[in-house]
Structure 1
Amino acid sequence: MNFILYSDVNDRSISLSLGRPEYSYYFVLKAYRPVLESLGRVHVVESTTEIDPLYRQLQLNGEESLFLSFTPPHKTPTHLQCPTICVVAWEFDSVPNESWDNDPQQDWSRTLTRHGRVITLSSHTAQAVRNALGEDFPVLVLPTPLWETFAEVRNQFANVPINPGTTLQTKGCIIDSRVLGLSADGLIAPIVTEPELEPAQPSAPAEPEIVNEAPPLTWCRRLFIVKHYLRQTYREAFRDLLPERLRTLIASLRPERPVVAEPVADAVVEVVVEAPPPQDLHPQACFPQTTELVETRVDGVIYVSVFNPDDGRKNWHQLITAFCWAMRDVEDATLVLKMTQSDLSTYYVEMLTLLSQLSPFACRVVVMHGYLDDQQFARLYGAASFYVNASRCEGLCLPLMEFMACAKPVIAPAHTAMQDYIDDRVAFIVESSQEPAVWPQDTRILFRTLRHRPDWGSLKTAYQNSYRMAKEQPARYQAMSVAASERMRDYCSFTAVQKRLTGFFESAQASEPTPASIAAVAGTASC
């Protein structure tokens, strides 16, 4: 059997694709590849136009082929001669079963029916497909095999609840709340403290109380505050309701940093001396350099989260505010945030504003922006006491699974894809409830599906309970740590995934999965 694989993101474009919706599909393809290579030959193509010529060439040699598309169904061709299966990561409770913009391929039920079967990364996605196409539609639930990948990390780093000290490095920059000099005075007008008055003499008449009013807000300060809250409201309330194309357009409107032209040699330059402009009480943010290798040392009870701050589903404002509120009097608690976003300007001011609003707090927040190689990521895995997820919905959540494979207990909700592997044996569960949502690519912005709303109080309590366990119950921490590793071994080890995949392909070969013969294949896949 030959497996032809395609993803919009490849090895050459991955560094430029941070934050794109297709970004995670690249890592799923890489994780699946070793398992597929154990079952046949693997061919990775860079364009869908290469698929059918390769299929016909292999067919002439008497070899069978199957195309696995690591792209969403609306971007997967339906006209190919080569048999096609979509690998789908989906986090909502229903798949698109309508079309819009005169594009019938936006209707996933139509595309998947033409393919005749589908591979999903979670049972949550599988049920959403069955809800649209019927309980008999052939669906394979296949998480990415990654447990063996982290064997070296498990052996290299001792798994302890309180970290004695680890140095973290990245090629980029590190935002550390301990060295920022955070103050809410940077956001609002300072209040002049009233001087203490000397006690009045008994014989003297009582003087009227003197009240010094705060100076009025300048237009500059007003504009700064309004711009911050408008941006925050857009990110938290409206961005996920906009279609992907419109979000991309809005992002493209961000002003770029000015480019200063180099002076031309031997050119006569007229120098005009102007009066310096008035100093802005709230000047534009000066972004730190992101090209140098930087490092910081962390210790104590360390919480880690990896996410794209430009993804509204990640709910990162609550993740930070709940931590700072739960640990505001705790000096040895640290939250390390690894950002999977290449553009620092998309969140830098917003992050500093949020931390300033929360100050003062004794705990520590460390934001790592930049590239981490394998060894630097291994240090991050080893440094963590807990991994934290506060998402509104997940199609799989590879970082969460990776830290669990490194034997790290977690704080996370048990909804969408996470319900396959999260329970109270491995996690402090964050409660949540459902709320209306739109399909991300739906340009009509219509409520057609549901996502989840994590409870902030439950998240804060999870931080407090996990910290208490780390400090006072090391045996319970170790039991949860072992349970997390064992859960990933059973859920996403190479052998477990290979067995599921083999059974699915054997059943498909026994009965060609066309729309007319779907019922003959139904129920044979290991889900």
Structure 2
Amino acid sequence: MLIIIHSETNQHTIAQNLGRSEYSYYFVLKEYRPVLERLGRVVEVTDPAREVDALYLECLARGEPCVFLSFSPPHRTPIHLACPTLPVFAWEFSTIPDEPFDNEPRNDWRTVLRACGAAITHSSYTVKAVREAMGADYPIVAVPAPVWDRFAARGAQLQGQPSTGPVRLKIKGLVADSRQLDLDAFGPKHLRRGKGIDFRAPVREQALLLDGVVYTSVFNPGDGRKNWEDMLSAFCVTFRDVEDATLVLKLTHHDAEEALSDILHHLYKNQSYRCRIVLIYGYLADPDYERLVQATRYVVNTSYGEGQCLPLMEFMSCGKPAVAPRTTAMIDYLSTDNAFLVESTDELTAWPHDPRKAFRTLRYMTNWASVCVAYRDSYEVAKHDPQRYAQMATQAVSSLRGFCSQAVAEQRLRAFLAQLFERQASAGTEVPQA
């Protein structure tokens, strides 16, 4: 079997595409690839319109099964190809787009899903949303990005201890530390004074020392779903008088000033506090990302919804309990055994790519006071209940193994693709026609 794969962002464009629309699909493709290589030959293409059908026709000539996995949301998935095409996509809203807005028929995802005949996503929540629109028997499978194996191996070295000594990271990028910044430089324009940050200075490598009870969140600050404002303000209030509580925000974006400016202003607004806030802007190499995981006691998420949330999955696979809401994709792997759960309520919102901003779906608002309670309770466990922390760490690893290990992904993909080719054979046609 030949498996053709494509993401609009690739290894050559990831640096300039960080934080842009759909950039995270590249990371999903990277995690899928080792599993796909167990199932067949894998070829990554950069131009599907030119390359996919040529490869497919070669397979057809020698009787080899072939499928194209487009790591993209349905409205960016090609449906004109002869090759069987499956979108591999994340989604975190209660309904899928079912209107052809903005003069684009593919914005009605039902059009694409019918043309493809099947799809792959990452959570049972998304499977439910798709089947509510497409019918209960629509062929779709939840296969999260299989990150568990890589991070569990790293976590095995940490032994689930509630505290560690200081961890030193080398970061080639920008680090903003609340204890070293002149926060008055980030107030309202007419009140600003002091030295700010020169965002145009040459990038240099610097060391960052982390200790105490470290909470970490990795996100794109330009993504309106992440709700980092509640995460930050609740931390500053909860730990206003706690010196050894640190919140690390690892920011994924293509522009430093755009990524940091608003957060720096919020650091100013939430004064005064004795806890520490550290902002990291830059693309961390794997060893440094792993050291950040090592330094972390808890991974944090306060988003309105997640299609799967790779950082949360990675940190938990490494044995880091979470502070997060149990909504959307997180329903599949969060519990009171591995996380301090944040309460939330649903509210009307728009699909993110709908320029009309028409209310057609739901997102999930976190309860701010509940975030504070989760912070306080998690801190107490980290400081004073090492046995419970170790149990939660073990449960995090175990839960994520059942959710996003390579073994689980291989089993689900193998069965799903076998059923896909069987349906095509029994239908007497070699490809679904768009």
Q: Normalising by structure 2, report the TM-score.
A: 0.94
RMSD: 2.0
CA distance in 1: counterparts of 2:39 and 2:260, whole angstroms: 46
CA contact (8 A) 1:7 1:70 kept: yes
- Alignment correspondent of 1:217: none
- Alignment correspondent of 1:488: 400
Residue 316 of structure 1: CA displacement?
0.6
CA distance in 2: counterparts of 1:300 and 1:420, whole angstroms: 30
1:302-321 superposed matches below 5 A: 302-321=214-233
Cα distance, 1:100–1:334 mapped onto 2, change above 3 Å: same
Cα distance, 1:516–1:318 mapped onto 2, change above 3 Å: farther
Cα distance, 1:63–1:353 mapped onto 2, change above 3 Å: same
Residue 72 of structure 1: CA displacement?
1.1
Q: Are 1:387 and 2:299 an aligned pair?
A: yes
Residue 491 of structure 1: CA displacement?
1.3
1:302-381 superposed matches below 5 A: 302-381=214-293
1:180-228, Cα deviation, whole Å (9 max, x unpaired): 1435x9747xxxxxxxxxxxxxxxxxxxxxxxxxxxxxxx62xx7xxxx
- Alignment correspondent of 1:501: 413
Residue 286 of structure 1: CA displacement?
3.5
- Alignment correspondent of 2:30: 30
1:156-171 superposed matches below 5 A: 156-171=157-172
CA distance in 2: counterparts of 1:354 and 1:318, whole angstroms: 10
Aligned residue for 2:166, secondary structure, equals strand
Query: Which amino acid in the other structure matches residue 42 of structure 1?
Result: V
When the two structures are aligned, how many residues end up with a matched partner?
428
Q: Are 1:139 and 2:163 an aligned pair?
A: no
CA distance in 1: counterparts of 2:228 and 2:135, whole angstroms: 36
Residue 101 of structure 1: CA displacement?
2.6
Q: How much identity, in percent, do the aligned residues show?
A: 44
Return the index of the structure with the highest Cα Rg: 1
- Correspondence for 2:366 among 430, 433, 454: 454
- Alignment correspondent of 1:4: 4
CA distance in 1: counterparts of 2:148 and 2:29, whole angstroms: 16
CA contact (8 A) 2:7 2:72 kept: yes
1:271-286 superposed matches below 5 A: 286=198
Q: List structure 1 segments (4+ residues) > 4 angstroms apart after TM superposition.
A: 280-285, 513-517
Q: Are 1:20 and 2:27 an aligned pair?
A: no
1:110-163, Cα deviation, whole Å (9 max, x unpaired): 110111111111111111101101111111111111111124412343532223
Residue 513 of structure 1: CA displacement?
8.9
Cα distance, 1:516–1:454 mapped onto 2, change above 3 Å: farther
CA contact (8 A) 2:148 2:405 kept: yes
Aligned residue for 1:453, secondary structure, equals strand
- Alignment correspondent of 1:100: 101
- Alignment correspondent of 1:73: 74
Query: Which amino acid in the other structure matches residue 15 of structure 1?
Result: A
CA contact (8 A) 2:182 2:196 kept: no
Cα distance, 1:61–1:515 mapped onto 2, change above 3 Å: closer
Aligned residue for 2:75, secondary structure, equals helix
1:289-337, Cα deviation, whole Å (9 max, x unpaired): 3510011211111101000111111001111110010001101111111
Which residues of structure 1 form unaligned runs of 5+? Answer: 189-219, 225-279, 518-527
Which residues of structure 2 form unaligned runs of 5+? Answer: 430-434
- Alignment correspondent of 2:347: 435
Residue 338 of structure 1: CA displacement?
0.6
Residue 431 of structure 1: CA displacement?
0.4
CA distance in 1: counterparts of 2:64 and 2:193, whole angstroms: 71
CA distance in 2: counterparts of 1:282 and 1:361, whole angstroms: 19
- Alignment correspondent of 1:125: 126
Query: Which amino acid in the other structure matches residue 153 of structure 1?
Result: R
Residue 509 of structure 1: CA displacement?
2.3
CA contact (8 A) 1:9 1:26 kept: yes
Query: Which amino acid in the other structure matches residue 29 of structure 1?
Result: L
Aligned residue for 1:101, secondary structure, equals helix
Query: Which amino acid in the other structure matches residue 472 of structure 1?
Result: H
CA contact (8 A) 1:113 1:515 kept: no
- Alignment correspondent of 1:43: 43
CA distance in 1: counterparts of 2:376 and 2:131, whole angstroms: 39
CA distance in 2: counterparts of 1:402 and 1:301, whole angstroms: 19
Residue 165 of structure 1: CA displacement?
0.7
CA contact (8 A) 1:173 1:289 kept: no
CA distance in 1: counterparts of 2:118 and 2:200, whole angstroms: 49
CA contact (8 A) 2:127 2:142 kept: yes
Cα distance, 1:187–1:490 mapped onto 2, change above 3 Å: closer
Aligned residue for 1:309, secondary structure, equals coil
CA distance in 1: counterparts of 2:158 and 2:105, whole angstroms: 51
Residue 488 of structure 1: CA displacement?
1.0
- Alignment correspondent of 1:154: 155
- Alignment correspondent of 2:84: 83
- Alignment correspondent of 2:432: none
- Alignment correspondent of 1:195: none
